[in-house]
Structure 1
């Protein structure tokens, strides 16, 4: 793994590194074949200027970050991975998240590719090409989505922070598949102003990084708050493992990596108990009328679909149009059912500091198996459902979660997800930092 933001920032402050040199390295990575299809628009000249002018005493010290194509950048349209919004009016100001990263000294290197309108966990894009997961130098594999380009920008060294969004796992899925860190904070912490929405109920503005300590830095900037740090050892926390749902149809490499990780954490002193969470089985019935994403996306897209539907990714259009069928009373019932379900889950995990699960149950499939084309639609939707299943539990819970790499060296990346209910962010981050250290040993 390349040096993280934390270490690079220390080197800049000690004057053993130079911000312009660091930016030149980032741009070289962004221009390399590994970043083909990663950026929808690059901002290299501006990033050079921002890095050169940055104060090394700022939080981000002139180091590079990327922004998912659904965030407003002043003077540019916000296409969100589409072609139907390619010539939309330019945004007058930066999205709040972009503005906060810039104000903290970050240099925006470019806008990153994504699943069109953020409506897929797979990460393929028929308009701009699909970023290739750098974990396999031989076989092109999916990056995961919807924050596909953001993940690859971090994994290849083009960006220290990949700004993205997470509605059903769109930060944690690509983090797991690319072997990096993805933190989904409690949604209310970070304003979504200037971010094109998928589901206003479930959307979370958050980021991917190269380490947990970098995830803490990024979260503190994005949420404009300080994380409460803890000196408790792993033995000071009570952790749960839930087998319900999370292990259904799991790949053998993922199961082995997870069990090995649990053993490693126990050896490091962690107190881990397996618990049942039968309320997870209620989710299909709760979401039977369509869930939140389809109707909320349809409310935003309905007029654009009427005008420009032929320009949409057919798979995305198909999912959005399902939202047209939801009735008002079904939507209200869904809101109420979710609130009651959250209360049951929170009661069940009360007393535990975090829950451990595989982030996703599979390793990255090949791009060829899910690429655009009606003949591959069935496999695409099967993979998409598997990728979204585990992380979307936390979005439905309105909770917080982090994915950290846990695979054996030389194996395809596997993510360990540590999660809890809303506003447990600081505890989850503290445990993740110690878990990361134990796994790296």
Structure 2
């Protein structure tokens, strides 16, 4: 794993490195085979000039490289959302708030990253621009996870310290888990959605991936424009729970081993962990029957584009968007009410716990070849995609917050441990995650 942002920033401030040299290293990685299909547009010359600006040195991001998902407006650039359909759209006239805040903090944008078309998949396949290969396995091309596929690989390879992305059903946490990095999904209301092409206006969240929890905390402070309430309280001061319903079903053996090993390490560090049923989780499928918010709200946004250019969409994405055409107004309004009632039941059931623990996804990254574009592989894609989204999407429906941190042993494919809770528990989740990250590190080294 490459050094995290904090470590690199300390080296810069100690005079042991310079931002221009760090940017050159990021550019070299971005141009390497490891980042094939990762960037849809690069801005290396502008990045060099910005890194050379000495004023950046005192800022939180210190003139270091960040990447932005092709979902966000950046002044002078077209926001195409990983699609050919919007390739000729007029360029943005200004940065969206998330990009503006990263730049104001000294972040140097080196490029726009690839993604599942219109952010509508947890797999990360893109038939238009190619699929970035997972950073964890150089021997066999594996899926990066999606929809923030390029963002994850840019961080995992060392091309960027922060990968700006979005999370509607797991699009930050899934690729973070599969690539062995950290992905934090904040409470959706904490970061403005302005200037981000929507998938679901109800569920969309603007957030980021990093290489450490402390970097995730800094990135969240910048994106949310608010200071965290930080705590060094030990794990023993928190009450944690593992929900048994659904989230532990059908785990890949590597995931099952890593998750159990993680619980053991956390208990050894003093954590009190209870297993609870939390049967309310099973109701998510009922709440989202018929495509849920994503299908209805994406169809409302895409219907004119589909009428004009539907044949140019990724067929798998088009199929899922068009499911929203069948939803009636009363069904959508019933969905809003059902979600509100479900959140209330979940909040009551989670009362007394500071965080819940689950595997981020139930599998390690499958090979790209088995899920690549092609009708003969559609059935496997339709099987894998909902599995990848199964655990993470619960938090989006909850309007909650969650973080995925690596928990695999050395030599294993990446596995994510997800810590989560309801809305506005962000600071507690991040503080617990920092303690958990430290507790898991020895177990990871010793295996």
Assess same fold via TM > 0.5: yes
Partner of 1:262: 263
How many aligned residue pairs are there? 441
How far did 1:95 drift?
A: 1.1
Tell me the CA shift for residue 288 of structure 1.
1.5
Q: Secondary structure of 2:419's partner?
A: strand
Shift of 1:281: 1.3
Structure 1 position 345, deviation (Å): 0.5
Q: Look up the match of 2:17.
A: 17
Q: CA deviation at 1:285?
A: 1.5
Query: Paired residue for 1:379?
Result: 380
Q: What is the DSSP-based 3-state SS (H/G/I as helix, E as strand, rest coil) of the residue aligned with 1:404? A: strand
Q: Which residue of 2 aligns with 1:312?
A: 313
**Larger CA deviation: 99-108 vs 51-60:** 51-60
Cα distance in 1 between the residues matched to 2:56 and 2:334: 51
Residue 29 of structure 2 is matched in structure 1 by 29
Residue 412 of structure 2 corresponds to: 411
CA shift, 1:289, in A, is: 2.7
Return the TM-score normalized by structure 1.
0.99
Structure 1 residues 304-360: Cα deviation after superposition (integer angstroms, max 9, x where no partner): 000111110000000000000000000000000000000111111111100000000
Alignment of 1:113-124 (within 5 A): 113-124=114-125
TM-score by length of 2: 0.98
* Corresponding residue of 2:350: 349
Q: Determine helix, strand or coil for the equivalent of 2:423.
A: coil
- Report SS of the residue matched to 2:289: coil
Deviation of 1:103 (Å): 0.4
In structure 1, what is the Cα distance between the partners aligned to 2:425 and 2:63?
30
Q: Aligned partners of 2:104, 2:281: CA distance in 1, in Å? A: 41
Shift of 1:56: 1.0
Distance 1:38 1:425 in 2: 29
Take 2:249 and 2:46, find their aligned partners in 1: how far apart are those partners? 47
Answering whether residue 325 of structure 2 is matched by residue 324 of structure 1, we say yes
Contact 1:289 1:330 (C-alpha < 8 Å) held by counterparts: no
- Residues 116, 313 of structure 1: 8 Å contact kept: yes
1:46 corresponds to which residue?
46
CA contact (8 A) 1:79 1:85 kept: yes
CA distance in structure 2 between the partners assigned to 1:309 and 1:399 by the alignment: 34
Q: Is it true that 1:112 corresponds to 2:144 in the alignment?
A: no
- Does residue 436 in structure 1 map to residue 437 in structure 2? yes
The runs of 5 or more residues in structure 1 that have no matched partner are: none
Shift of 1:290: 2.1
Q: Deviations over 1:24-66 (max 9, x none)?
A: 0000110000000000000111111111114211010000000
CA distances 1:397-420 after superposition (whole Å, capped 9, x unpaired): 000000000001100000000000
* Greater displacement, 408-417 / 281-290: 281-290
Q: Map residues 63-78 of structure 1 onto 2, 5 A cutoff.
A: 63-78=64-79
Gaps in structure 2 of 5+ consecutive residues:
443-447
Provide the residue aligned with 1:3 in structure 2.
3
Indicate whether 1:273 and 2:274 are aligned.
Answer: yes
Q: 1 CA distance for matches of 2:158 and 2:191?
A: 25
Q: Secondary structure of the residue that 1:130 maps to in structure 2? A: coil
Instruction: Identify the residue that residue 96 of structure 1 maps to in structure 2.
Output: 97
Deviation at 1:167, TM superposition (A): 0.1
Counterpart CA distance in 2 for 1:193 and 1:9 is 30
Q: Report whether the alignment pairs 1:83 with 2:72.
A: no
Asked if 2 retains the 8 angstrom alpha-carbon contact of 1:74 and 1:94, the reply is: yes
Distance 1:284 1:246 in 2: 13
Which residue of structure 2 lines up, in the alignment, with residue 237 of structure 1? 238
Greater shift, 137-146 or 281-290, is seen at 281-290
1:214 aligns with 2:212: no
User: C-alpha separation between the residues in 1 aligned to 2:187 and 2:389?
Assistant: 18
Q: Is the 8 A contact 1:167 1:202 kept in 2?
A: yes
Distance in 1, Cα, partners of 2:114 & 2:32: 16
State how far apart, in whole Å, the 2-side matches of 1:59 and 1:290 are: 41
Contact map agreement 1:173 1:388 (CA 8 A) in 2: yes
CA contact (8 A) 2:290 2:323 kept: no
> How far off is 1:71 after superposition?
0.5
1:70: Cα distance to partner? 0.7
Aligned residue for 1:398, secondary structure, equals coil
CA contact (8 A) 1:119 1:316 kept: yes
The one-character-per-residue Cα deviations of 1:150-196 (angstroms, maximum 9, x if unpaired) are: 00000000000000000000000000000000000000000011100
Q: For residues 398 and 285 of structure 1, what CA distance do their matches in structure 2 show?
A: 17
Give 2:254's aligned residue: 253
Q: Is the 8 A contact 2:66 2:160 kept in 1?
A: yes
Name the CA distance, whole Å, in 2 between partners of 1:282 and 1:233: 34
